[in-house]
Amino acid sequence: MEKNQKEQVDKKKTSGTPEKTSAGKPEETSKAEKACAGETAAAENPAGQEKPKDDAQAQLEQAQEELKKQKELLLRTAAEYDNYRKRTEREKTAVYADATAAAVTEFLPVADNLERALEQQDCTVEDLRKGVEMVGTQLKGALAKLGVTEMGEAGEVFNPDLHNAVSHVEDENAGENTIVQVFQKGYKIGDKVVRHAMVQVAN
């Protein structure tokens, strides 16, 4: 009888010890870790929100948009410059045409008198001389109206900026570097030389 009681006590002690998993941890620990990992993933990517675009892609799109704007600006600038160039060319042509017309207008009376002189059939040498003198005076008046002045007179000091020395001569009566003879008069408008005077200069 004592032996049976001892066996019953040993069975009670054995049945009261909790069983462990093969890893040495309760099964509840693994479930808790899985639940925590799920909450972390949900916090990183909340439901209903899209992920932001990649930084490199966003920078590329921004650069392409800026490039497009710069191309449009370049095209507008090129078109404006082309219009400005064409307008300037038209204005330049118009100014040149107006200046030419003004110059020609001054010489038309001279041309008219020459034509009348050629139409005269019976005229003396003296009449012809007077007619040429009149046309010459009229021509000089037309040049003066345009601001053209003559240059190159005998006795003037030679100036290479105004005169072209085509020959030199020894002349004791003339001073050194003095114009002795004028072969062709020069002309200028203001300070601009239109044509140098062709002269002979004394050494």
Domains of the chain with bracketed CATH = 65-146 (3.90.20.20), 149-202 (2.30.22.10)
Query: Tens-digit pLDDT profile for the chain (203 aa)?
Result: 544 555 554 554 444 444 444 444 555 555 555 555 555 555 555 544 555 567 888 999 999 999 999 999 999 999 999 999 999 999 999 999 999 999 999 999 999 999 988 888 888 889 888 989 999 999 999 999 999 999 999 999 999 999 999 999 998 888 889 999 999 999 999 999 999 999 999 98
Q: Are strands 197-202 and 163-169 parallel, antiparallel or unpaired?
A: parallel
Residue 150 to residue 188: CA distance in whole angstroms: 7
Residue type, 89: E
| 132 to 128, 145, 168, 186: CA distances (angstroms) | 6, 20, 32, 21
pTM (whole model) above 0.85? no
Q: What is the pLDDT of residue 123?
A: 83
CA distance 138 to 131: 11
